[in-house]
A and B are shown apart, each in its own frame.
Chain A
Amino acid sequence: MKEQQPKSRVSARKRMRAMGWSFLFIVLSAMILPSTSYLFTSDQVYAQVNEDENQRSNFWRAVRQGNEGYSAVSGPETGVLINNGGQNWRQIRNGVISTYGGWAIIGSLAAVLLFFLVKGKIRVEENLSGLTVPRWHVLERFMHWYTAAGFVVLTITGLSMLFGRIVLIPLLGAKGFSAWANLSINVHNFVGPFFSIGVFAMLLFWVKHNIPNATDLKWLATGGGLIGNNHPSAGKANGGEKVWYWVVILIGLLAVCGTGLALIGWMEQLGFGDTTRASMQWMHQIHAISAIIWTVIFFGHAYIGTIGTEGALEGMTTGRVSVEWAKQHHDQWYEEVKDQASVESSSSAVADASAETSAT
Chain B
Amino acid sequence: MARMKFLCDAERCIECNGCVTACKNENEVPWGVNRRRVITLGDGNAGEKSISVACMHCTDAPCAAVCPVDCFYTTDEGIVLHDKDLCIGCGYCFYACPFGAPQYPEKEAFGVRGKMDKCTFCAGGPAENNSAEEKEKYGGNRIAEGKLPLCAEMCSTKALIAGDGDMVSDIYRERILKRGGRPQTWGWDAAYSKST
Does chain A bind chain B? yes
Q: Which A residues are within 8 Å of any B CB, using their own CB?
A: 52-57, 59, 62-63, 67, 69-73, 75, 77-87, 89-90, 93-94, 161-162, 164-165, 169, 174-175, 177-178, 181-182, 185-186, 189-190, 193, 263-265, 277, 280-281, 284
Tell me the smallest distance from the CB of B114 to a CB of chain A, in Å.
Answer: 12
Known A-B contacts A69-B39, A81-B39, A89-B96; the reply to A185 vs B66 at CB < 8 A is no
Tell me the smallest distance from the CB of A71 to a CB of chain B, in Å.
Answer: 5
Pairwise interchain contact B68-A82, C-beta atoms closer than 8 A: no
Pairwise interchain contact A71-B37, C-beta atoms closer than 8 A: yes
Known A-B contacts A79-B39, A181-B88; the reply to A84 vs B109 at CB < 8 A is no
Complex contacts, B15 vs chain A, CB 8 Å: 72
Interface SS of chain B: loop
Complex contacts, B109 vs chain A, CB 8 Å: 264-265
Alpha-carbon gap, A81 to B100, bound state (A): 8
Interface SS of chain A: helix
Alpha-carbon gap, A189 to B39, bound state (A): 34
Pairwise interchain contact B41-A69, C-beta atoms closer than 8 A: yes
The 13 sampled A-B contact pairs (Cβ below 8 Å) are A56-B184, A70-B43, A78-B39, A89-B66, A90-B62, A90-B95, A90-B96, A165-B70, A178-B86, A185-B88, A186-B112, A190-B110, A284-B95
Pairwise interchain contact B99-A165, C-beta atoms closer than 8 A: no
Alpha-carbon gap, A79 to B100, bound state (A): 10
Pairwise interchain contact B184-A80, C-beta atoms closer than 8 A: no
Alpha-carbon gap, A175 to B68, bound state (A): 13
Alpha-carbon gap, A298 to B11, bound state (A): 58
Alpha-carbon gap, A53 to B185, bound state (A): 10
Alpha-carbon gap, A50 to B38, bound state (A): 30
B33 and chain A: residue at smallest CB distance: A75
Known A-B contacts A56-B186, A186-B112; the reply to A174 vs B41 at CB < 8 A is no
Alpha-carbon gap, A162 to B68, bound state (A): 7
Complex contacts, B34 vs chain A, CB 8 Å: 73, 75, 78
Pairwise interchain contact B98-A54, C-beta atoms closer than 8 A: no
Complex contacts, A52 vs chain B, CB 8 Å: 184
Of residues 100 to 122 in B, which have CB atoms within 8 Å of A's CB atoms?
100, 107, 109-112
- 4 A-B pairs closest in CB distance: A264-B111, A73-B37, A69-B41, A70-B43
Alpha-carbon gap, A263 to B111, bound state (A): 7
Complex contacts, B89 vs chain A, CB 8 Å: 185
Complex contacts, B67 vs chain A, CB 8 Å: 165
A77 and chain B: residue at smallest CB distance: B100
Known A-B contacts A78-B100, A174-B69, A277-B94; the reply to A264 vs B110 at CB < 8 A is yes
Complex contacts, A71 vs chain B, CB 8 Å: 37-40
Known A-B contacts A75-B34, A87-B62; the reply to A280 vs B111 at CB < 8 A is no
B103 and chain A: residue at smallest CB distance: A75
Of residues 36 to 52 in B, which have CB atoms within 8 Å of A's CB atoms?
37-43, 47, 49, 51
Please tell me which one of the listed residues A69, A82, A189 contacts residue B111 in the complex, with CB atoms under 8 A apart: A189
Pairwise interchain contact A81-B86, C-beta atoms closer than 8 A: no
Pairwise interchain contact B53-A69, C-beta atoms closer than 8 A: no
A67 and chain B: residue at smallest CB distance: B41
Tell me the smallest distance from the CB of B51 to a CB of chain A, in Å.
Answer: 7
Pairwise interchain contact A265-B111, C-beta atoms closer than 8 A: yes
Apart from A69-B42, A83-B99, A86-B62, 17 more pairs, CB < 8 Å: A56-B186, A70-B40, A71-B38, A71-B39, A71-B40, A72-B17, A73-B20, A78-B34, A80-B39, A90-B66, A90-B96, A165-B67, A177-B69, A178-B85, A185-B89, A186-B110, A189-B111
Is B155 an interface residue, CB under 8 A from the partner? no
Complex contacts, B186 vs chain A, CB 8 Å: 55-56, 59
